[in-house]
Amino acid sequence: MNRFFVGLLASTLLACLPVQAQNLDAQRPRIRAALEAAERGQFDAAQYRDIVSHPLYGWVEFTGLKRNIDTLGTAQAQAFLKRYEGQAVAEAFRNLWLSALSRRQDWPTFRAHWKPTSNLTLQCAELNARQALGHADAQWVKDAQDVWRKGIKPLPDICDPVFALLANKQALPAALRWERIDAAAAERQTASMRHAARGLPSGEAALANDYAAFIDGVHPRALQWPKTERSRKMAAVGLARLATKDPAAAERQLPQYANALGMNEAERGQVLNQIALWTVASYEPDSARRLNEVPEVAFDNNLHEWRVREALARGDWRAALTALRKMPAKLRTDSRWRYFEARLEEKTGDKAEAQRLYREAAQSATFHGFLAADRIGQPYALCAWTPKDSAQAKNTVARDAAIVRAMELWKLERPGWATSEWNDALSRFDDTQRRIAVEVARDNGWFDRAVFSLGKAPDELRLYELRFPLHHGETIRREAGKHGLDPAWVAAEIRAESVFNPKARSGANAMGLMQVLPSTGAAVAKRLGLPWGGAASLYDSDTNIALGTAYLRQMEDKYGVPYVAIAAYNAGPTPTARWQSQRPNYDPDFWIETISYRETREYVARVLAFSVIYDWRLNGNALPVTDRMLGRVNAKRKAFVCPTAQAPKS
């Protein structure tokens, strides 16, 4: 037995002793060193006796065991599971070990430690285990068929023996194969369609494969398909997919397939919806015509919104108002569209109705709610909720073992494990405990828990102090002042970009609090004569804020007004230049709403709304958003009120 496992045996005995009060801050370097040693395969438990009762020692053990998972002895694995039963680390280990047992085909041990999971690979492994142990009974068949139905995307190879046995048992009839083919077709998963077709009679298999081929690339053989509902649906899926790449080609070819197969209005509408959507999203010349050709039954919320934007982009206020009035009631009453309905009523002459609609929209603490309040000269509606929880309640949550582990893992920059512990804790918490847990996370510098863990109860959206944290305030003020920027704007950018996570990193390699690209950071540092320590320096909060605010200033200098600068900060110069050339001299609210990229359109509105809220947090009042987005920093500031009808419960 190697020294790692000798150490584990000793640690098991020590772990049975009462846990002494610990200074977690002081022990953090030791835990970090232990984890790093375990990752290298150099962990010697005997050298870390001082941390054996630390809350994270299970994750240290987990890291060491993980390296040898394929050769790990059953007794050692069982001891680990028993030692940490009920903890997130045990379930993380269980999944790894079950996968290893599956590879070894140690089915008795696998079954003995099985727990239900949503992991399809492990589900298929468990079905293989039951089959190998002689338990492929009626329940096995039902469970295997359930996995078959879930497999819209291609399933792992370990599922193949399961489905082969299902077929041998005559439990994969053609109807069940077609059920999966139909479901996969709706998601355009043609590989799954072909896989499901393998057991069909030859004629049906050929047709199923031809359906898949059509979805991959429209072909004329479809004109000879049987005139069935399934054929029509497959044609609609294939033509709708073509529309995402070439709307004009889909429009040209739709009539012949619709006529040959007898497509109904809904099926034609599915294709016309995509033709119109992928045309209007770029404001192409045929946008209005293609929108008008979509049957009303085929309009979804997305296309309803685009129909309004298309008319706004042309400056056709009456057409935009008509399109807006056709929206479903729930969508139309959203503060965004209440505000634009008011704007369009105002544009077309009904000022009294506009005022009524502005008053409705102004009840919302959102970008469009703030805009509406500006239009009618009202204070901003913001109903903050600051619960009065007992010290005992806070202490109980803060001392919860899973929360303690989550906070320590977060500080050790192990966000995946931290989230596992967090989710485990929240699975046991009621709403009050969950909210308090977010406060604990905030106090430990883990700010995004307020974004991901609040909102189940309506009043939670009014927890503005939690949802809009203030951190690095001195640096934000200093760098904002240096570049002539509003600190509330800088704080809003950080909240929108990273939720104050200094180690955030995007798929595009944007890094740190303000999500600065290394190339941008290097260029800004060179321009300003600042020291540049390479991409890793963007994880330093002060450096990131210094470079991010300098770049924000650069964007405002280039584009002249903050709302365009915010768009450029998110999307880059090329699309921003296109939007400026397409709609020069547009009112800012209309220009923002007609940005063709959804991410940027929402981003600009979000940052401007966040700026108002951070202004309130910093100063108790705010620069009007109408002035803010135009860079008018000396405008009269606005107060905030909480309408009585909206006041949250204590």
Backbone angles phi, psi at 355, to 5 degrees: -60, -40
As beta bridge partners, residue 381 has 641
> Among all chains, which residue has been given the structure tokens 């430990």?
444
Mean pLDDT of 445-463: 94
What's the total number of domains in the chain? Answer: 4
Coil, strand, or helix at residue 641? strand
38-65 pLDDT, tens digit each: 999 999 999 999 999 999 999 999 999 9
- Domain membership of residue 341 (yes or no) is no
pLDDT at residue 9 is higher than 70 = no
Specify whether 455 is located in the same domain as 487: no
Specify whether 492 is located in the same domain as 397: no
Q: DSSP secondary-structure letter at 646?
A: G
Specify whether 403 is located in the same domain as 500: no
- Domain membership of residue 13 (yes or no) is yes
Which pLDDT band holds residue 460 (cuts at 50, 70, 90)? very high
Specify whether 134 is located in the same domain as 76: no
Specify whether 477 is located in the same domain as 601: yes
Among 94, 160, 162, 92, CA closest to 127: 162
- Domain membership of residue 544 (yes or no) is yes
Which pLDDT band holds residue 1 (cuts at 50, 70, 90)? very low
Average pLDDT, the chain: 94
Q: DSSP secondary-structure letter at 533?
A: -
Residues labelled catalytic = 497
Which pLDDT band holds residue 22 (cuts at 50, 70, 90)? low
Specify whether 577 is located in the same domain as 609: yes
Asked if 22 and 51 count as a contact pair (C-beta separation under 8 A), the reply is no
pLDDT at residue 93 is higher than 80 = yes
pLDDT at residue 646 is higher than 70 = no
Q: Which of 115, 139, 174 is the last residue of a domain?
A: 115
**pLDDT at site 23:** 86
Backbone angles phi, psi at 619, to 5 degrees: -130, -10
119-132 pLDDT, tens digit each: 999 999 999 999 99
pLDDT at residue 371 is higher than 50 = yes
Q: Is 330 exposed, middle or buried (0-12, 13-18, 19+ CB in 10 A)?
A: exposed
pLDDT at residue 448 is higher than 60 = yes
Mean pLDDT of 184-200: 96
% of the chain at pLDDT higher than 90: 94
- Domain membership of residue 366 (yes or no) is no
Q: What is the CATH number of the domain that holds 617?
A: 1.10.530.10
**pLDDT at site 156:** 92
Other CB atoms within a 10 A radius of the CB of residue 484 amount to 11
Residue 121, C-beta contacts closer than 8 angstroms, at least 6 positions apart: 99, 156, 158, 159
Q: Report the alpha-carbon distance of residue 372 to residue 155 in Å, rounded.
A: 51
Specify whether 7 is located in the same domain as 77: yes
Specify whether 582 is located in the same domain as 642: yes
Q: DSSP secondary-structure letter at 468?
A: S
Cα 559 to chain centroid distance, Å, stands at: 30
pLDDT at residue 636 is higher than 50 = yes
% of the chain at pLDDT higher than 70: 96
- Which two tokens mark 115? 């727990």
- Domain membership of residue 433 (yes or no) is yes
**Amino acid in the structure at residue 81:** L
Q: Report the alpha-carbon distance of residue 623 to residue 373 in Å, rounded.
A: 12
504-524 pLDDT, tens digit each: 999 999 999 999 999 999 999
Specify whether 518 is located in the same domain as 611: yes
Other CB atoms within a 10 A radius of the CB of residue 639 amount to 12
pTM score, two decimals? 0.92
Full domain range(s) for residue 425: 391-462
Q: DSSP secondary-structure letter at 380?
A: E
Among 334, 319, 344, 326, CA closest to 368: 334
576-601 pLDDT, tens digit each: 999 999 999 999 999 999 999 999 99
Among 383, 368, 380, CA closest to 604: 368
231-261 pLDDT, tens digit each: 999 999 999 999 999 999 999 999 999 999 9
**pLDDT at site 8:** 44
308-357 pLDDT, tens digit each: 999 999 999 999 999 999 999 999 999 999 999 999 999 999 999 999 99
pLDDT at residue 3 is higher than 60 = no
> Among all chains, which residue has been given the structure tokens 């450096």?
543
In the chain, count H helices and then E strands. 37, 2
Asked if 190 and 212 count as a contact pair (C-beta separation under 8 A), the reply is yes
Q: Which of 462, 481, 513 is the last residue of a domain?
A: 462
Other CB atoms within a 10 A radius of the CB of residue 464 amount to 18
Asked if 108 and 79 count as a contact pair (C-beta separation under 8 A), the reply is no
385-426 pLDDT, tens digit each: 999 999 999 999 999 999 999 999 999 999 999 999 999 999
296-308 pLDDT, tens digit each: 999 999 999 999 9
**pLDDT at site 458:** 83
Coil, strand, or helix at residue 516? strand
Residue 483, C-beta contacts closer than 8 angstroms, at least 6 positions apart: 549, 550, 552, 553
- Domain membership of residue 362 (yes or no) is no
Specify whether 567 is located in the same domain as 599: yes
∠ CA 272-278-279, nearest 5°, is 85
**pLDDT at site 2:** 44
pLDDT at residue 204 is higher than 70 = yes
pLDDT at residue 10 is higher than 90 = no
Q: Report the alpha-carbon distance of residue 424 to residue 410 in Å, rounded.
A: 15
Q: Which of 99, 115, 131 is the last residue of a domain?
A: 115
Which pLDDT band holds residue 95 (cuts at 50, 70, 90)? very high
Other CB atoms within a 10 A radius of the CB of residue 602 amount to 15
How many angstroms separate the Cα of 309 from the Cα of each of 53, 350, 455, 608? Answer: 60, 21, 29, 20
